[in-house]
Amino acid sequence: MALREKMKRAVEQPDLVFQPLNRLYYNVTNETEFNDRGIDVLQEDWDNLIILDACRYDFFEEHCTLDGNLEKRISKAAATEEFLRATFGNRTIRDLVYVSSNPQYERLKTEIDAEVFKYIATEKDALDGLSVYPETVTDDALDAAEDHPDKRLMVHYMQPHQPYLAGGGEEIDYGMGLVATMKKNDLTQAEVREAYRANLDYVLEEVTRLIDSLEGKTVITADHGEILGERQRPFPARTFSHPTGIYIKETVEVPWFIVDRGERKDIVPEAPVRDEVEESVEEVDSHLRDLGYLD
């Protein structure tokens, strides 16, 4: 790319200049490769952990109408890949069934030496395989809870992360990442925020259905948050999405919503069973690329 073109892009997209500087700042100020202030979710007290992908604390606080106790936690990560590395890296978790609509775990598990008792990848049944309807995740989670009542259950919904499946979001022409989607559809900040809210309301309906059938202590949280037009720090650059290594309020403040229902589970660790994964590595990479996770 010619120097003039690079300078033009830097003027039009200052985050291209400031984002590497911000990432370097957080890299230098953290002692580990993750956000030092974040929690280890596997060490927290729960029987069922429901993860909403890219769900901010402030938006969750506004939209959640469930009965329970809302607290705030800080995530170790600003993106799903970081969350999975921080949570599962170099671990064998023999008491956990992980149901996920985000295929990042499939791509990373060997590299980060991760293993759970059972991993269940949900069918990609939305937008020609680009995403997963939350109803599908709920159904798979309910089956897993029935099949494995003596295991901790982690359920990872794709929403409110794009693609947006509510409020007209299925008519959007999605690009590789949120910024690309906004450019392709000429979406404003207000329109993206409205789509994000609709997606959050949609998934919370399914979370309600799931919680009503779960035993024990359930927590709703997020792997990370989402920047929706705010500026990065310490170097200001207006951003959308959730760039890795940028640990600001919008990316790491996540909900920790506690619902206690019924007897606690009697958890029994066992040797891991074979993952229920049907896609090849190439298919997983292609899907992640479409979602904007990979270049």
Helices assigned H by DSSP within 159-188: 178-185
SS3 content of the chain, % helix, strand, coil (to 5): 40, 25, 40
Per residue of the chain (295 residues), give pLDDT as tens: 554 554 445 445 556 678 888 888 888 888 889 999 999 999 999 999 999 999 999 999 999 999 999 999 999 999 999 999 999 999 999 999 999 999 999 999 999 999 999 999 999 999 999 999 999 999 999 999 999 999 999 999 999 999 999 988 899 999 988 999 999 999 999 999 999 999 999 999 999 999 999 999 999 999 999 999 999 988 888 899 999 999 999 999 999 999 998 789 999 999 998 766 555 555 565 556 556 555 4
CA 209/CA 204 separation, integer angstroms: 9
**In terms of DSSP H, where are the helices of the chain?**
3-12, 15-29, 57-63, 80-88, 104-108, 134-147, 178-185, 189-211, 249-252, 281-291
Q: Which fold has domain 45-262+281-291?
A: Alkaline Phosphatase, subunit A (3.40.720)
Q: Please state, in angstroms and rounded to a whole number, the distance separating the CA atoms of residues 54 and 287.
A: 17
Distance CA 251, CA 57 (A): 9
- The CA–CA distances, whole Å, from 147 to 25, 42, 140, 143, 218 equal 46, 21, 10, 6, 18
Find the angle CA(50)-CA(255)-CA(19) to the nearest 5 degrees: 105
Task: Identify the pLDDT of residue 8.
Answer: 47
Could you state, in order of their start, the residue ranges of all structural domains in the chain?
A: 45-262+281-291
For the chain, the residue count is: 295
* Average pLDDT of the chain, as a whole number: 90
Q: What is the pLDDT of residues 200-255, one digit of tens each?
A: 999 999 999 999 999 999 999 999 999 999 999 888 888 999 999 999 999 999 99
Closest by alpha carbon to 148, among 46, 266, 42? 266
